Amino acid sequence: MPSSVRAGSLKDPEVAELFFKEDPEKLFSDLREIGHGSFGAVYFARDVRSTEVVAIKKMSYSGKQSNEKWQDIIKEVKFLQRIQHPNSIEYKGCYLREHTAWLVMEYCLGSASDVLEGKTHSKNSSCSI
């Protein structure tokens, strides 16, 4: 990496390859908020290319502690790319738009806390991502 490229920057090829280049607002429709956490909101959405239903976690990396937020997003994407197991939520990709990462995952009913608490799955929630 050239010395002029800051580690963790989108100019770093290793970081740039973590994110799809397309505009997520053109790829996903019917966004409806289904949950909210400390890192952002989770949305129900539909992939316009396949009509598949997905869950999208939108995480802003602007404002206070923007560099820390950006580094957390990079770590999460790298981690999710490595997980491939039939019992885990499928990672579909990550897009960037206006200082917000769109983390796209398989949609499922219920949440991780529902599983831990033994609750019945609800149609209005997504698995935690």
Domains of the chain as residue ranges with CATH: 13-117 (3.30.200.20)
Annotated binding-site residue numbers for ATP? 58
Give the pTM.
0.80
In the chain, the largest separation of any two C-alpha atoms, in whole Å, equals 53
- pLDDT tens string, the chain, 129 residues long: the values are 455 555 578 888 999 999 999 999 999 999 999 998 777 899 999 999 999 999 999 999 988 888 999 999 999 999 999 998 988 889 999 999 999 999 999 998 866 666 667 655 444 444 545
DSSP string, the chain: --TTSPTT-TTSHHHHTTSB-S-HHHHEEEEEEEEE-SS-EEEEEEETTT--EEEEEEEE--STTHHHHHHHHHHHHHHHHH---TTSPPEEEEEEETTEEEEEEE--BS-HHHHHHTPPP-TT-B---
Binding residues: 58
Beta bridge partners of 95: 20, 102
How many residues are given for the chain? 129
